[in-house]
Amino acid sequence: MSESVKQANKTRAQKAREAHEKASKQRKNDQQTIKAAYLSGKGDLIIEDLLVKIPLWQKLHLKVAQDGVGIRPTGFKLTNGEQEVENIYLTPDQRASHLDKSAGLQEILDYIERQTTVPKPDIKPKSKQKAV
């Protein structure tokens, strides 16, 4: 290879590395900004509401998956004015889908908890060196 081709390849590699480092730095800054927003809004009603309701939705999906039975409104009213509902029996695929929904909700809950938790500083004990 000629010297100019080697120089062009080196320059191309340097540009790619610089672009990668710039993108990595931007992702890290974005992550820190998002975490700061969560920490500043820890008392925010939206986050508190989600932290309360997500476990309830998880329990609902787990219960439906375990029972294999659910209900849905038919759109008609009963004589006492209440909504008429009908039982639905779930297939194994539908039951698995409810388990997947519960797992997805757990991921969201874990993400919110990670973002709203202030990391504790690592305190490493000093190692004692033995005299030889």
pLDDT tens figures, 39-90? 776 567 777 788 889 999 999 999 999 999 888 888 899 999 899 999 989 9
Cβ-contact 88, 71 below 8 angstroms: yes
* Mean pLDDT over each residue of the chain, to the nearest integer: 84
- In this prediction, residue 119 carries a pLDDT of 72
Q: Where are the domains of the chain?
A: 1-40, 42-116
pTM of the model: 0.57
CA distances from 98 to 71, 90, 101 (A): 14, 10, 5
Q: Cα separations (Å) of 10 from 2, 6, 23? A: 13, 6, 20
